[in-house]
């Protein structure tokens, strides 16, 4: 597989992480309540720039033998540094028509933009014509409400406006193929969606289980390894920061206790690894499968 793709097995489930690209934002957007001096030192230790934190977009392809599932679809052609998902799928031998389920951890543009064919901006169409698009009912209701209130997010107002517009636009293009869930649900054999609210009202985590092996996809419950080391540091994209922190702790405690492999959409590629609890609190990110 080329750079940007990484294939592995969870029991009998074949998984491939696929890079759709990346985005760069100020560190203050990802860690709005962190002390600037402490944050700058933590980023410098990792060779990262305080003003330009690189955040990858990593989707997950799951092949069960009968089902072909895509977990999140990336941003698509919404920026000059994204839009690689179709090419990644093609190299993996998957055509858009082969995907029969797309599951969204949530409806931010960098997770659903790639699910929409935007070549004709007047008539947006589903990129995967034969797929059902699974998401939480609370997520659908939030983005399709009369007033989408993003005041809880601590990012730029221009970014909020773009998120609001693109999310609603994409969901409307997918409306005839959307399947809504309102509780923990088995999407296909071996793949369960778990409510994980806070980042957005209907944010989901995804648990893959087969032959005693497991992988927990955190979605955006954490968007940088520093959110593990310093779980008290909020993510500015979280709509409900305190609830998001509770969710993050719960998922990470489960992963560490049960020694479950973890995936996070925005972690450094290939975005999979393990977590181990620090005695002082927080968790260490150990990349690799």
Q: What is the mean pLDDT of residues 6-14?
A: 97
Nearest residue to 201 via CA among 143, 114, 266, 263: 143
Nearest residue to 43 via CA among 66, 25, 57: 25
Tokens of 150: 């993003």
Q: Which domains does the chain have, with CATH numbers?
A: 5-287 (3.60.15.10)
Q: How far apart are CA 4 and CA 74, in angstroms?
A: 13
Q: What is the mean pLDDT of residues 99-113?
A: 98
Nearest residue to 202 via CA among 76, 130, 89, 111: 111
Confidence class for position 119, pLDDT limits 50, 70, 90: confident
Q: Does the pLDDT at position 75 exceed 90?
A: yes
pLDDT for the residue 2: 52
Q: How far apart are the first and last CA of the chain?
A: 16
**Could you tell me the pTM of the whole model?**
0.96
Average pLDDT in the chain: 95
Q: How far apart are CA 53 and CA 237, in angstroms?
A: 14
The percent of residues above 70 in pLDDT, for the chain, comes to 99
pLDDT digits (tens, 9 = 90+) for 227-257: 999 999 999 999 999 999 999 999 999 999 9
Q: Does the pLDDT at position 77 exceed 90?
A: no
Q: What is the mean pLDDT of residues 112-117?
A: 96
pLDDT digits (tens, 9 = 90+) for 210-225: 999 999 999 999 999 9
The owner of tokens 């940088």 is 224
Q: What is the mean pLDDT of residues 177-193?
A: 98
Rounding to the nearest 10 degrees, give the CA dihedral for residues 59, 54, 241, 247. 40
Residue 150 CB: number of other CB atoms within 10 A? Answer: 18
């Amino acid at each position: 597989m080329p750079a940007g793709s990484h294939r592995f097995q969870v029991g009998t489930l074949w998984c491939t992480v696929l890079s759709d690209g990346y985005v760069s934002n100020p560190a203050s957007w990802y860690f709005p309540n962190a002390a600037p001096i402490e944050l700058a030192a933590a980023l410098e230790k990792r060779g990262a720039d305080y003003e330009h934190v690189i955040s990858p977009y990593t989707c997950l392809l799951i092949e069960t033998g009968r089902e072909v599932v895509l977990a999140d679809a990336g941003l698509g052609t919404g920026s000059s540094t994204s839009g690689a998902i179709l090419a990644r799928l093609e190299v993996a031998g998957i055509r858009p028509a082969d995907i029969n389920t797309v599951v969204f951890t949530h409806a931010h543009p960098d997770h659903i933009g790639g699910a929409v064919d935007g070549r004709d901006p007047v008539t947006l169409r589903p990129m995967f014509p034969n797929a059902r698009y699974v998401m939480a009912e609370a997520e659908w209701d939030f983005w399709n409400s009369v007033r989408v209130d993003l005041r809880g997010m601590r990012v730029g107002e221009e970014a909020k406006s773009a998120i609001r517009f693109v999310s609603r636009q994409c969901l409307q293009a997918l409306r005839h193929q959307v399947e809504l869930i309102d509780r923990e649900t088995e999407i296909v054999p071996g793949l369960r969606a778990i409510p994980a609210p806070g980042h957005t009202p209907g944010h989901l985590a995804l648990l893959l289980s087969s032959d005693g092996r497991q992988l927990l996809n955190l979605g955006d419950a954490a968007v940088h390894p520093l959110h593990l080391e310093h779980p008290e540091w909020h993510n500015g994209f979280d709509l409900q920061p305190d609830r998001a922190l509770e969710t993050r702790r719960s998922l990470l405690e489960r992963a560490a206790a049960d020694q479950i492999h973890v995936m996070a959409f925005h972690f450094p590629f290939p975005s999979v690894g393990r977590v181990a609890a620090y005695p002082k609190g927080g968790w260490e990110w150990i990349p690799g499968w």
